[in-house]
Structure 1
Protein backbone atom coordinates (compact mmCIF):
# COMPACT_ATOMS: atom_id res chain seq x y z
CA UNK A 1 0.00 0.00 0.00
CA UNK A 2 1.10 3.55 -0.84
CA UNK A 3 -0.26 6.88 0.41
CA UNK A 4 -0.54 10.28 -1.26
CA UNK A 5 -0.72 13.12 1.27
CA UNK A 6 -2.56 16.28 0.21
CA UNK A 7 -0.99 19.38 1.79
CA UNK A 8 -3.33 21.82 0.07
CA UNK A 9 -4.70 24.41 2.50
CA UNK A 10 -8.22 23.82 3.80
CA UNK A 11 -9.28 27.20 2.41
CA UNK A 12 -8.84 25.56 -1.02
CA UNK A 13 -10.01 22.00 -0.34
CA UNK A 14 -13.18 23.23 1.41
CA UNK A 15 -13.90 26.15 -0.92
CA UNK A 16 -17.24 25.77 -2.75
CA UNK A 17 -15.71 26.72 -6.12
CA UNK A 18 -12.00 25.84 -5.84
CA UNK A 19 -12.44 22.70 -3.76
CA UNK A 20 -14.14 20.31 -6.21
CA UNK A 21 -11.63 20.73 -9.10
CA UNK A 22 -8.68 20.52 -6.71
CA UNK A 23 -10.02 17.39 -5.03
CA UNK A 24 -10.74 15.78 -8.41
CA UNK A 25 -7.20 16.52 -9.62
CA UNK A 26 -5.70 15.20 -6.38
CA UNK A 27 -7.55 11.89 -6.72
CA UNK A 28 -6.49 11.62 -10.37
CA UNK A 29 -2.86 12.08 -9.38
CA UNK A 30 -3.19 9.48 -6.64
CA UNK A 31 -4.40 7.13 -9.37
CA UNK A 32 -1.41 8.10 -11.52
CA UNK A 33 0.93 7.12 -8.68
CA UNK A 34 -0.90 3.82 -8.28
CA UNK A 35 -0.66 3.12 -12.01
CA UNK A 36 3.04 4.01 -12.13
CA UNK A 37 4.04 1.73 -9.25
CA UNK A 38 1.43 -0.99 -9.62
CA UNK A 39 0.52 -0.78 -5.93
CA UNK A 40 -2.73 0.65 -4.46
CA UNK A 41 -2.42 4.27 -3.32
CA UNK A 42 -4.55 5.78 -0.56
CA UNK A 43 -5.34 9.52 -0.75
CA UNK A 44 -5.27 11.36 2.60
CA UNK A 45 -5.29 15.00 3.71
CA UNK A 46 -2.37 16.01 5.93
CA UNK A 47 -4.74 16.96 8.77
CA UNK A 48 -5.84 13.29 8.93
CA UNK A 49 -2.33 11.83 8.60
CA UNK A 50 0.03 10.39 11.22
CA UNK A 51 2.55 7.63 11.81
CA UNK A 52 -0.20 5.63 13.51
CA UNK A 53 -2.35 6.02 10.38
CA UNK A 54 0.52 4.77 8.19
CA UNK A 55 1.02 1.73 10.40
CA UNK A 56 -2.69 0.94 10.60
CA UNK A 57 -3.05 1.07 6.82
CA UNK A 58 0.06 -0.99 6.12
CA UNK A 59 1.61 1.74 3.99
CA UNK A 60 5.06 1.00 2.54
CA UNK A 61 5.89 4.49 1.18
CA UNK A 62 4.19 7.85 0.88
CA UNK A 63 4.16 10.83 -1.45
CA UNK A 64 3.48 14.48 -0.58
CA UNK A 65 1.54 16.78 -2.89
CA UNK A 66 2.07 20.37 -3.88
CA UNK A 67 0.06 23.36 -2.66
CA UNK A 68 -0.87 26.86 -3.80
CA UNK A 69 -1.05 29.23 -0.77
CA UNK A 70 2.18 30.64 0.62
CA UNK A 71 3.63 28.89 3.66
CA UNK A 72 2.87 31.82 5.97
CA UNK A 73 -0.83 31.05 5.59
CA UNK A 74 -0.47 27.69 7.35
CA UNK A 75 -0.52 26.80 11.04
CA UNK A 76 2.72 24.85 11.14
CA UNK A 77 1.71 22.93 14.25
CA UNK A 78 -0.67 21.03 11.97
CA UNK A 79 2.32 19.75 9.99
CA UNK A 80 3.98 18.10 13.00
CA UNK A 81 2.54 14.59 12.41
CA UNK A 82 3.64 14.70 8.76
CA UNK A 83 7.07 16.04 9.70
CA UNK A 84 7.44 13.26 12.27
CA UNK A 85 6.78 10.68 9.57
CA UNK A 86 9.21 12.35 7.18
CA UNK A 87 12.06 12.42 9.69
CA UNK A 88 11.38 8.99 11.20
CA UNK A 89 13.25 7.15 8.47
CA UNK A 90 10.63 4.39 8.66
CA UNK A 91 9.10 5.07 5.25
CA UNK A 92 10.38 6.03 1.81
CA UNK A 93 9.08 9.52 1.04
CA UNK A 94 8.89 11.51 -2.20
CA UNK A 95 7.68 15.11 -2.06
CA UNK A 96 6.35 16.92 -5.13
CA UNK A 97 6.63 20.71 -5.53
CA UNK A 98 5.33 22.11 -2.22
CA UNK A 99 5.94 18.69 -0.67
CA UNK A 100 9.58 18.98 -1.77
CA UNK A 101 9.80 22.42 -0.15
CA UNK A 102 8.15 21.11 3.02
CA UNK A 103 10.76 18.35 3.25
CA UNK A 104 13.55 20.88 2.80
CA UNK A 105 12.17 23.24 5.43
CA UNK A 106 11.60 20.32 7.82
CA UNK A 107 15.34 19.67 7.64
CA UNK A 108 16.23 23.35 8.07
CA UNK A 109 16.59 24.70 4.52
CA UNK A 110 15.16 28.11 3.60
CA UNK A 111 12.52 28.47 0.89
CA UNK A 112 11.50 31.61 -0.96
CA UNK A 113 10.34 32.92 -4.33
CA UNK A 114 12.43 32.39 -7.44
CA UNK A 115 12.52 36.17 -7.69
CA UNK A 116 10.97 39.02 -9.66
CA UNK A 117 10.77 38.98 -13.43
CA UNK A 118 13.46 40.86 -15.28
CA UNK A 119 12.58 43.55 -17.80
CA UNK A 120 11.07 41.92 -20.89
CA UNK A 121 10.74 38.49 -19.26
CA UNK A 122 7.42 36.74 -19.94
CA UNK A 123 5.10 36.03 -17.01
CA UNK A 124 4.16 32.38 -17.48
CA UNK A 125 1.25 32.58 -15.00
CA UNK A 126 0.13 36.23 -14.94
CA UNK A 127 -2.89 35.48 -12.74
CA UNK A 128 -0.73 33.83 -10.05
CA UNK A 129 1.59 36.19 -8.17
CA UNK A 130 2.01 38.56 -11.13
CA UNK A 131 5.47 39.96 -11.66
CA UNK A 132 7.22 36.96 -10.11
CA UNK A 133 9.29 34.42 -12.03
CA UNK A 134 7.77 30.97 -12.46
CA UNK A 135 8.61 27.64 -14.01
CA UNK A 136 5.62 26.35 -15.94
CA UNK A 137 5.17 23.51 -18.39
CA UNK A 138 6.90 20.21 -19.16
CA UNK A 139 10.63 20.79 -18.77
CA UNK A 140 13.72 18.52 -18.88
CA UNK A 141 15.65 17.92 -15.67
CA UNK A 142 19.40 18.52 -15.82
CA UNK A 143 20.85 15.43 -14.15
CA UNK A 144 23.53 16.24 -11.56
CA UNK A 145 24.04 12.65 -10.41
CA UNK A 146 24.59 10.49 -13.52
CA UNK A 147 23.87 6.82 -12.91
CA UNK A 148 21.54 7.45 -9.99
CA UNK A 149 18.72 4.86 -9.97
CA UNK A 150 16.04 7.58 -10.07
CA UNK A 151 17.18 8.28 -13.63
CA UNK A 152 17.37 4.67 -14.82
CA UNK A 153 16.07 4.37 -18.36
CA UNK A 154 16.26 8.09 -19.14
CA UNK A 155 18.56 9.72 -21.70
CA UNK A 156 21.41 11.98 -20.59
CA UNK A 157 19.16 14.96 -21.34
CA UNK A 158 17.05 13.89 -18.36
CA UNK A 159 13.37 13.13 -17.76
CA UNK A 160 10.76 15.69 -18.76
CA UNK A 161 8.31 16.53 -15.97
CA UNK A 162 5.66 19.16 -15.36
CA UNK A 163 6.74 22.30 -13.49
CA UNK A 164 4.33 24.78 -11.91
CA UNK A 165 5.90 26.87 -9.14
CA UNK A 166 7.24 30.25 -8.15
CA UNK A 167 9.02 29.22 -4.92
CA UNK A 168 12.09 27.04 -4.45
CA UNK A 169 14.51 25.83 -1.81
CA UNK A 170 17.35 28.33 -1.57
CA UNK A 171 19.92 25.84 -0.27
CA UNK A 172 20.22 22.10 0.24
CA UNK A 173 19.27 20.89 3.71
CA UNK A 174 22.04 19.30 5.76
CA UNK A 175 22.73 15.69 4.79
CA UNK A 176 21.00 16.03 1.42
CA UNK A 177 22.50 15.38 -2.01
CA UNK A 178 21.63 17.31 -5.17
CA UNK A 179 20.40 15.03 -7.96
CA UNK A 180 18.97 17.36 -10.64
CA UNK A 181 18.39 21.01 -11.53
CA UNK A 182 16.54 23.14 -14.08
CA UNK A 183 17.50 26.49 -15.61
CA UNK A 184 15.86 28.62 -12.91
CA UNK A 185 15.77 26.12 -10.04
CA UNK A 186 19.04 24.59 -8.83
CA UNK A 187 17.52 22.29 -6.20
CA UNK A 188 15.10 20.46 -8.44
CA UNK A 189 15.67 16.91 -7.13
CA UNK A 190 17.35 15.96 -3.85
CA UNK A 191 17.93 12.93 -1.64
CA UNK A 192 18.69 12.52 2.05
CA UNK A 193 21.97 10.68 2.46
CA UNK A 194 20.90 8.53 5.45
CA UNK A 195 17.17 7.85 5.17
CA UNK A 196 14.94 7.24 2.10
CA UNK A 197 13.61 10.79 1.77
CA UNK A 198 13.50 12.45 -1.67
CA UNK A 199 12.06 15.65 -3.09
CA UNK A 200 11.38 16.99 -6.56
CA UNK A 201 10.30 20.55 -7.27
CA UNK A 202 8.33 19.35 -10.29
CA UNK A 203 5.22 17.22 -10.66
CA UNK A 204 6.10 13.77 -12.04
CA UNK A 205 2.68 12.61 -10.83
CA UNK A 206 1.15 14.87 -13.53
CA UNK A 207 2.46 12.68 -16.35
CA UNK A 208 0.41 12.30 -19.52
CA UNK A 209 0.51 10.07 -22.62
CA UNK A 210 2.41 12.88 -24.39
CA UNK A 211 4.79 13.38 -21.45
CA UNK A 212 5.11 9.96 -19.76
CA UNK A 213 8.50 10.36 -18.02
CA UNK A 214 6.97 11.10 -14.62
CA UNK A 215 5.55 7.59 -14.48
CA UNK A 216 8.99 6.00 -14.86
CA UNK A 217 10.48 8.49 -12.38
CA UNK A 218 7.93 7.49 -9.72
CA UNK A 219 8.41 3.79 -10.45
CA UNK A 220 12.19 4.22 -10.24
CA UNK A 221 11.75 5.82 -6.79
CA UNK A 222 9.66 2.86 -5.65
CA UNK A 223 12.22 0.37 -6.95
CA UNK A 224 15.23 2.28 -5.61
CA UNK A 225 13.72 2.33 -2.12
CA UNK A 226 12.70 -1.34 -2.11
CA UNK A 227 8.94 -0.84 -2.34
CA UNK A 228 8.87 -2.91 -5.54
CA UNK A 229 11.43 -4.95 -7.45
CA UNK A 230 13.23 -3.58 -10.49
Structure 2
Protein backbone atom coordinates (compact mmCIF):
# COMPACT_ATOMS: atom_id res chain seq x y z
CA UNK A 1 0.00 0.00 0.00
CA UNK A 2 0.98 3.62 -0.35
CA UNK A 3 -0.10 6.71 1.56
CA UNK A 4 1.32 9.74 -0.25
CA UNK A 5 -1.50 11.83 -1.68
CA UNK A 6 0.50 12.40 -4.88
CA UNK A 7 0.95 8.68 -5.57
CA UNK A 8 -0.72 7.21 -8.64
CA UNK A 9 0.22 3.58 -8.00
CA UNK A 10 2.15 1.15 -5.85
CA UNK A 11 5.80 0.13 -6.00
CA UNK A 12 5.14 -3.45 -7.10
CA UNK A 13 3.09 -2.67 -10.25
CA UNK A 14 5.48 0.16 -11.14
CA UNK A 15 8.51 -2.16 -11.02
CA UNK A 16 6.59 -4.89 -12.84
CA UNK A 17 5.77 -2.47 -15.67
CA UNK A 18 9.48 -1.62 -15.91
CA UNK A 19 10.41 -5.33 -15.76
CA UNK A 20 12.52 -4.80 -12.64
CA UNK A 21 12.64 -7.87 -10.37
CA UNK A 22 11.91 -7.73 -6.64
CA UNK A 23 13.31 -10.18 -4.11
CA UNK A 24 11.82 -11.03 -0.73
CA UNK A 25 12.40 -13.54 2.05
CA UNK A 26 16.12 -13.44 1.24
CA UNK A 27 18.69 -12.61 3.91
CA UNK A 28 20.62 -10.03 1.89
CA UNK A 29 23.11 -9.44 4.71
CA UNK A 30 24.02 -13.12 4.64
CA UNK A 31 24.30 -12.98 0.86
CA UNK A 32 26.60 -9.95 1.12
CA UNK A 33 28.82 -11.69 3.67
CA UNK A 34 29.03 -14.75 1.43
CA UNK A 35 30.11 -12.70 -1.59
CA UNK A 36 32.60 -10.83 0.56
CA UNK A 37 34.17 -14.14 1.55
CA UNK A 38 34.25 -16.01 -1.76
CA UNK A 39 34.38 -13.17 -4.30
CA UNK A 40 32.27 -12.28 -7.31
CA UNK A 41 29.86 -14.99 -8.44
CA UNK A 42 27.30 -15.41 -11.17
CA UNK A 43 23.74 -15.18 -9.89
CA UNK A 44 20.14 -15.53 -10.98
CA UNK A 45 16.77 -14.46 -9.57
CA UNK A 46 14.01 -17.05 -9.97
CA UNK A 47 10.31 -17.25 -9.13
CA UNK A 48 7.69 -19.99 -9.09
CA UNK A 49 7.50 -23.56 -7.89
CA UNK A 50 10.27 -24.84 -10.18
CA UNK A 51 12.47 -21.78 -9.70
CA UNK A 52 15.44 -23.76 -8.40
CA UNK A 53 15.63 -26.05 -11.43
CA UNK A 54 15.15 -23.22 -13.91
CA UNK A 55 17.65 -21.04 -12.10
CA UNK A 56 20.32 -23.73 -12.14
CA UNK A 57 19.77 -24.25 -15.86
CA UNK A 58 20.06 -20.50 -16.46
CA UNK A 59 23.31 -20.34 -14.48
CA UNK A 60 24.81 -23.25 -16.39
CA UNK A 61 23.96 -21.50 -19.65
CA UNK A 62 25.59 -18.25 -18.51
CA UNK A 63 29.29 -18.21 -19.49
CA UNK A 64 32.03 -17.06 -17.16
CA UNK A 65 33.44 -13.61 -17.85
CA UNK A 66 36.90 -15.17 -18.14
CA UNK A 67 37.73 -15.73 -21.80
CA UNK A 68 34.93 -13.54 -23.17
CA UNK A 69 35.79 -11.02 -25.89
CA UNK A 70 32.89 -8.64 -25.38
CA UNK A 71 34.71 -5.72 -26.99
CA UNK A 72 34.08 -7.08 -30.47
CA UNK A 73 30.36 -7.34 -29.68
CA UNK A 74 29.90 -3.76 -28.51
CA UNK A 75 32.37 -2.05 -30.86
CA UNK A 76 31.15 0.04 -33.76
CA UNK A 77 31.00 -1.91 -37.00
CA UNK A 78 31.96 1.06 -39.16
CA UNK A 79 34.21 4.09 -38.53
CA UNK A 80 32.53 7.39 -37.70
CA UNK A 81 33.68 10.91 -36.86
CA UNK A 82 32.88 13.05 -33.84
CA UNK A 83 33.51 16.76 -33.43
CA UNK A 84 34.31 19.79 -35.56
CA UNK A 85 36.31 18.85 -38.68
CA UNK A 86 38.19 22.15 -38.24
CA UNK A 87 39.43 21.20 -34.75
CA UNK A 88 43.12 21.62 -33.99
CA UNK A 89 43.83 17.96 -33.21
CA UNK A 90 42.80 14.69 -34.80
CA UNK A 91 42.55 11.57 -32.64
CA UNK A 92 41.81 8.01 -33.71
CA UNK A 93 39.84 6.20 -30.99
CA UNK A 94 39.66 2.42 -30.88
CA UNK A 95 36.16 1.51 -29.77
CA UNK A 96 36.10 -1.37 -27.28
CA UNK A 97 32.93 0.07 -25.73
CA UNK A 98 33.69 3.79 -25.73
CA UNK A 99 31.71 6.19 -23.54
CA UNK A 100 30.15 9.29 -25.06
CA UNK A 101 31.54 11.49 -22.30
CA UNK A 102 35.08 10.66 -23.43
CA UNK A 103 34.23 11.89 -26.91
CA UNK A 104 32.64 15.01 -25.43
CA UNK A 105 35.77 15.84 -23.44
CA UNK A 106 37.95 15.46 -26.51
CA UNK A 107 35.74 17.77 -28.56
CA UNK A 108 35.70 20.32 -25.72
CA UNK A 109 39.50 20.37 -26.00
CA UNK A 110 39.58 21.23 -29.70
CA UNK A 111 39.82 17.66 -31.01
CA UNK A 112 37.96 15.80 -33.69
CA UNK A 113 37.77 12.07 -33.22
CA UNK A 114 37.63 9.24 -35.72
CA UNK A 115 36.16 6.23 -33.93
CA UNK A 116 37.18 2.91 -35.47
CA UNK A 117 36.20 -0.75 -34.86
CA UNK A 118 38.18 -2.68 -32.27
CA UNK A 119 39.94 -4.86 -34.85
CA UNK A 120 41.00 -2.10 -37.25
CA UNK A 121 44.56 -2.78 -38.51
CA UNK A 122 47.16 -0.27 -37.40
CA UNK A 123 48.03 0.73 -40.96
CA UNK A 124 44.38 1.55 -41.65
CA UNK A 125 44.04 3.59 -38.45
CA UNK A 126 47.18 5.60 -39.22
CA UNK A 127 46.25 6.39 -42.83
CA UNK A 128 44.69 9.67 -41.72
CA UNK A 129 47.90 10.69 -39.87
CA UNK A 130 46.28 11.27 -36.46
CA UNK A 131 47.96 13.33 -33.76
CA UNK A 132 47.27 10.60 -31.22
CA UNK A 133 45.49 7.31 -30.62
CA UNK A 134 43.03 6.61 -27.81
CA UNK A 135 42.24 3.08 -26.54
CA UNK A 136 38.81 3.07 -24.96
CA UNK A 137 37.18 1.41 -22.03
CA UNK A 138 35.02 -1.66 -22.57
CA UNK A 139 33.68 -4.92 -21.13
CA UNK A 140 35.04 -8.44 -20.94
CA UNK A 141 38.33 -10.24 -20.44
CA UNK A 142 41.26 -8.25 -21.88
CA UNK A 143 43.25 -11.41 -22.64
CA UNK A 144 40.39 -12.57 -24.87
CA UNK A 145 40.85 -9.48 -27.07
CA UNK A 146 43.69 -11.38 -28.69
CA UNK A 147 43.86 -9.28 -31.85
CA UNK A 148 44.51 -6.00 -29.98
CA UNK A 149 48.15 -6.24 -28.75
CA UNK A 150 49.63 -6.67 -32.23
CA UNK A 151 47.65 -3.66 -33.45
CA UNK A 152 48.60 -1.53 -30.46
CA UNK A 153 52.28 -2.43 -30.68
CA UNK A 154 52.39 -1.39 -34.34
CA UNK A 155 50.77 1.94 -33.45
CA UNK A 156 53.01 2.70 -30.49
CA UNK A 157 56.20 1.67 -32.30
CA UNK A 158 55.34 4.35 -34.85
CA UNK A 159 55.79 6.92 -32.07
CA UNK A 160 52.14 8.00 -31.97
CA UNK A 161 51.10 9.34 -28.54
CA UNK A 162 48.72 6.72 -27.13
CA UNK A 163 46.37 6.91 -24.14
CA UNK A 164 44.29 4.03 -22.75
CA UNK A 165 41.48 3.99 -20.20
CA UNK A 166 40.21 0.90 -18.35
CA UNK A 167 40.21 -1.94 -20.92
CA UNK A 168 42.53 0.17 -23.08
CA UNK A 169 44.92 0.42 -20.13
CA UNK A 170 44.81 -3.35 -19.65
CA UNK A 171 45.51 -3.94 -23.34
CA UNK A 172 48.57 -1.69 -23.09
CA UNK A 173 49.83 -3.91 -20.29
CA UNK A 174 49.33 -7.01 -22.44
CA UNK A 175 50.94 -5.37 -25.47
CA UNK A 176 54.27 -4.91 -23.70
CA UNK A 177 54.49 -8.36 -22.12
CA UNK A 178 52.30 -8.05 -19.06
CA UNK A 179 49.33 -10.14 -17.99
CA UNK A 180 45.91 -9.53 -16.47
CA UNK A 181 43.93 -11.27 -13.76
CA UNK A 182 40.26 -11.46 -12.84
CA UNK A 183 39.82 -9.75 -9.50
CA UNK A 184 37.96 -11.47 -6.64
CA UNK A 185 35.72 -8.44 -6.11
CA UNK A 186 36.41 -5.83 -8.76
CA UNK A 187 36.30 -2.07 -8.30
CA UNK A 188 32.89 -0.41 -8.59
CA UNK A 189 31.86 3.09 -7.60
CA UNK A 190 33.00 6.68 -7.48
CA UNK A 191 35.16 6.86 -4.36
CA UNK A 192 38.29 4.75 -4.91
CA UNK A 193 41.50 6.33 -3.56
CA UNK A 194 44.42 6.11 -5.99
CA UNK A 195 47.97 7.31 -5.31
CA UNK A 196 50.27 8.88 -7.87
CA UNK A 197 53.53 7.03 -7.36
CA UNK A 198 55.81 9.95 -8.26
CA UNK A 199 54.15 12.65 -6.17
CA UNK A 200 52.32 10.74 -3.44
CA UNK A 201 49.20 12.73 -4.32
CA UNK A 202 45.93 10.89 -3.69
CA UNK A 203 43.10 11.07 -6.23
CA UNK A 204 39.49 10.06 -5.63
CA UNK A 205 38.46 8.13 -8.73
CA UNK A 206 35.49 6.50 -10.42
CA UNK A 207 35.96 2.83 -11.32
CA UNK A 208 34.06 -0.03 -12.90
CA UNK A 209 36.22 -3.05 -13.72
CA UNK A 210 36.68 -6.70 -12.81
CA UNK A 211 40.14 -7.32 -14.31
CA UNK A 212 43.50 -5.75 -13.50
CA UNK A 213 47.05 -5.64 -14.84
CA UNK A 214 49.24 -8.01 -12.82
CA UNK A 215 51.96 -6.43 -10.68
CA UNK A 216 52.46 -4.13 -7.70
CA UNK A 217 53.47 -0.56 -6.93
CA UNK A 218 57.01 -1.29 -8.14
CA UNK A 219 56.53 -3.00 -11.50
CA UNK A 220 54.22 -4.54 -14.08
CA UNK A 221 54.84 -8.29 -14.02
CA UNK A 222 56.61 -9.38 -17.22
CA UNK A 223 56.67 -5.89 -18.76
CA UNK A 224 60.07 -4.29 -18.16
CA UNK A 225 59.31 -1.53 -20.69
CA UNK A 226 56.49 -0.22 -18.48
CA UNK A 227 56.57 1.62 -15.18
CA UNK A 228 53.76 1.91 -12.64
CA UNK A 229 52.36 5.43 -12.21
CA UNK A 230 49.29 4.87 -10.02
CA UNK A 231 48.23 2.31 -7.40
CA UNK A 232 44.97 1.62 -5.60
CA UNK A 233 45.20 2.40 -1.89
CA UNK A 234 42.55 -0.17 -0.97
CA UNK A 235 44.19 -3.28 -2.41
CA UNK A 236 47.49 -2.20 -4.01
CA UNK A 237 46.46 -3.07 -7.57
CA UNK A 238 47.92 -1.19 -10.53
CA UNK A 239 45.84 1.83 -11.56
CA UNK A 240 48.18 3.46 -14.07
CA UNK A 241 51.21 2.68 -16.20
CA UNK A 242 53.54 4.40 -18.63
CA UNK A 243 56.08 3.30 -21.23
CA UNK A 244 59.61 4.20 -20.18
CA UNK A 245 60.56 5.66 -23.56
CA UNK A 246 57.51 6.01 -25.80
CA UNK A 247 54.66 8.57 -25.37
CA UNK A 248 52.31 5.83 -24.16
CA UNK A 249 50.33 5.67 -20.91
CA UNK A 250 47.11 4.32 -19.48
CA UNK A 251 44.93 4.41 -16.36
CA UNK A 252 42.55 1.82 -14.98
CA UNK A 253 40.01 4.28 -13.59
CA UNK A 254 37.71 6.73 -15.41
CA UNK A 255 39.08 10.30 -15.41
CA UNK A 256 36.14 11.35 -17.60
CA UNK A 257 33.49 10.18 -15.10
CA UNK A 258 30.31 12.24 -15.06
CA UNK A 259 28.76 12.37 -12.59
CA UNK A 260 31.80 11.54 -10.52
CA UNK A 261 35.05 12.90 -9.13
CA UNK A 262 37.16 15.11 -11.39
CA UNK A 263 40.49 14.72 -9.59
CA UNK A 264 41.97 12.85 -12.55
CA UNK A 265 40.81 15.17 -15.36
CA UNK A 266 44.38 16.51 -15.82
CA UNK A 267 45.23 13.19 -17.50
CA UNK A 268 43.38 14.39 -20.57
CA UNK A 269 45.51 17.52 -20.56
CA UNK A 270 48.62 15.35 -20.30
CA UNK A 271 47.54 13.47 -23.40
CA UNK A 272 46.76 16.71 -25.24
CA UNK A 273 50.16 18.09 -24.29
CA UNK A 274 51.75 15.00 -25.80
CA UNK A 275 49.84 15.70 -29.01
CA UNK A 276 51.08 19.28 -29.15
CA UNK A 277 54.64 18.27 -28.35
CA UNK A 278 54.81 15.29 -30.69
CA UNK A 279 57.37 15.40 -33.50
CA UNK A 280 55.40 14.85 -36.69
The equivalent of 1:9 in structure 2 is 71
Establish whether residue 83 from structure 1 lines up as the match of residue 136 from structure 2. Answer: no
Q: Report the alpha carbon displacement of residue 83 of structure 1 after superposing the two structures with TM.
A: 3.1
Please show how residues 40-51 of structure 1 align to structure 2 within 5 Å: 40-51=112-123
Establish whether residue 220 from structure 1 lines up as the match of residue 264 from structure 2. Answer: no
The equivalent of 2:135 in structure 1 is 64
Give the TM-score of the pair, scaled to structure 1: 0.68
Equivalent of 1:174 in 208, 224, 231: 224
**Partner SS for 2:134:** strand
Equivalent of 1:109 in 155, 178, 198: 178
The equivalent of 1:161 in structure 2 is 205
Q: Report the alpha carbon displacement of residue 135 of structure 1 after superposing the two structures with TM.
A: 0.9
Establish whether residue 30 from structure 1 lines up as the match of residue 103 from structure 2. Answer: yes
Quickly say closer, same or farther: Cα 1:49–1:185, change in 2 above 3 A: farther
Please give the alpha-carbon distance, in whole angstroms, between the structure 2 residues aligned to 1:78 and 1:199.
15
Unmatched tracts of structure 1, length 5 or more: 1-6, 16-21, 116-132, 147-155
State how many pairs are aligned: 185
The equivalent of 2:166 in structure 1 is 97
Please give the alpha-carbon distance, in whole angstroms, between the structure 2 residues aligned to 1:142 and 1:186.
11
Equivalent of 2:194 in 141, 159, 163: 141
The equivalent of 2:248 in structure 1 is 197
Answer whether contact 2:75 2:118 (CA < 8 A) is retained.
no
**TM-align CA RMSD:** 3.0
Quickly say closer, same or farther: Cα 1:23–1:140, change in 2 above 3 A: same
**Partner SS for 1:31:** helix
Please give the alpha-carbon distance, in whole angstroms, between the structure 2 residues aligned to 1:194 and 1:216.
21
Give the TM-score of the pair, scaled to structure 2: 0.57
Quickly say closer, same or farther: Cα 1:77–1:190, change in 2 above 3 A: closer
Answer whether contact 1:191 1:197 (CA < 8 A) is retained.
yes
Answer whether contact 1:64 1:95 (CA < 8 A) is retained.
yes
Quickly say closer, same or farther: Cα 1:160–1:81, change in 2 above 3 A: same
**Partner SS for 1:218:** helix
Answer whether contact 1:207 1:213 (CA < 8 A) is retained.
no
The equivalent of 1:127 in structure 2 is none
Higher helix fraction (1 or 2):
1
Quickly say closer, same or farther: Cα 1:207–1:38, change in 2 above 3 A: farther
The equivalent of 1:129 in structure 2 is none
Please give the alpha-carbon distance, in whole angstroms, between the structure 2 residues aligned to 1:60 and 1:8.
28
Choose 1 or 2 for highest CA Rg: 2
Please give the alpha-carbon distance, in whole angstroms, between the structure 2 residues aligned to 1:70 and 1:40.
29
Answer whether contact 1:168 1:185 (CA < 8 A) is retained.
no
Please give the alpha-carbon distance, in whole angstroms, between the structure 2 residues aligned to 1:167 and 1:40.
30
Quickly say closer, same or farther: Cα 1:192–1:71, change in 2 above 3 A: closer
Render the CA deviation track for 1:72-94: whole Å, top value 9, x for unaligned: 544x24653233113x1511111
